[in-house]
């Protein structure tokens, strides 16, 4: 197990990524082809920046990536990446303006995770709360036909969340990357073919 974990940790260091999580997104893209050159990407829970870097590589210099996280990062990003310190649950007027300026996004992705308590059901509930807010943001700012990628801790309420995603996307697939730790409860859902912001707005509470 340690050798398996060390492989991705060392690989990230060798390839100048700040975290091993980069390989999860690379696996997702290899399987689902969510990125294309020139796309606009929103990365929620972006620190320390591995997903933003991987997305920037995929969309190229003509694309753009906006990363946001509660925590700052010292990662050096290429010119097509902008990073802001923001709370997705309490989006500032500045952040909302930035989102509106860059929208619509072709991909909204969330690697957000709660601070774990060691209590399984508490951690699962907090993870689900983050996922629901990420989906809300995606419904506001995704382009029609766009994709949504979200990390979630498996729990009893996940299927309800999956049904919610399926109301707004043509296809929703579960994926467990090989680079995820075997003992981790995290899985990723990849939702493709967004119905469009008009449909989302009409269905909003």
What DSSP line would sit under 80-102, residue for residue? TEEEEE--TTS--HHHHHHHHHH
Q: What SS3 class is residue 169?
A: strand
* The CATH number of the domain covering residues in 23-200: 3.40.50.150
Domain ranges of the chain: 23-200
The pTM (predicted TM-score) of the whole model is 0.89
* Whether pLDDT at 184 is above 80: no
Q: Which candidate in 30, 151, 176, 185 is catalytic?
A: 151
* Whether pLDDT at 205 is above 70: no
Q: Let me know if 13 is a catalytic residue.
A: no
pLDDT of residue 163: 97
pLDDT of residue 4: 44
Instruction: Please write the tens of the pLDDT for every residue from 61-89.
Output: 999 999 999 999 999 999 999 999 999 88
Instruction: Please write down the long-range contacts of 34-39, taking CB distance under 8 Å and 24 or more positions apart.
Output: 34/107, 34/147, 34/149, 34/190, 34/192, 35/59, 35/107, 36/106, 37/62, 37/63, 38/62, 38/63, 39/63, 39/106, 39/107
Task: Determine the average pLDDT of the residues in 102-118.
Answer: 91
Least confident of 56-65, 99-108, 173-182: 173-182
pLDDT of residue 11: 66
Q: What is the C-alpha to C-alpha distance for residues 110 and 21, in angstroms, rounded to an integer?
A: 12
How high does pLDDT run on average in the chain? 88
């Amino acid at each position: 197990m340690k050798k398996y974990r060390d492989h991705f940790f060392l690989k990230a260091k060798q390839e100048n990524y700040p975290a091993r999580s980069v390989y999860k997104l690379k696996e997702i893209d290899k399987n689902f082809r969510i990125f294309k050159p020139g796309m606009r990407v929103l990365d929620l829970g972006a620190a320390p920046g591995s997903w933003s870097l991987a997305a920037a590589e995929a969309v190229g210099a003509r694309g753009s990536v906006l990363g946001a996280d509660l925590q700052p990062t010292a990662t050096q990003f290429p010119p097509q990446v902008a990073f802001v310190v923001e709370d997705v649950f309490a989006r500032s007027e500045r952040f909302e303006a930035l989102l509106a300026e860059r929208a619509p996004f072709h991909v909204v992705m969330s690697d957000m995770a709660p601070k774990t308590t060691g209590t399984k059901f508490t951690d699962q509930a907090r993870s689900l709360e983050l996922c629901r807010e990420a989906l809300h943001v995606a419904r506001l700012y995704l382009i029609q036909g766009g994709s949504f990628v979200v990390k979630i801790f498996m729990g009893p309420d996940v299927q309800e969340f999956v049904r919610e995603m399926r109301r707004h996307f043509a296809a929703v697939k579960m994926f467990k990357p090989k680079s995820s730790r075997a003992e981790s409860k995290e899985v990723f859902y990849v939702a493709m073919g967004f119905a469009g912001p008009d449909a989302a707005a009409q269905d909003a509470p």
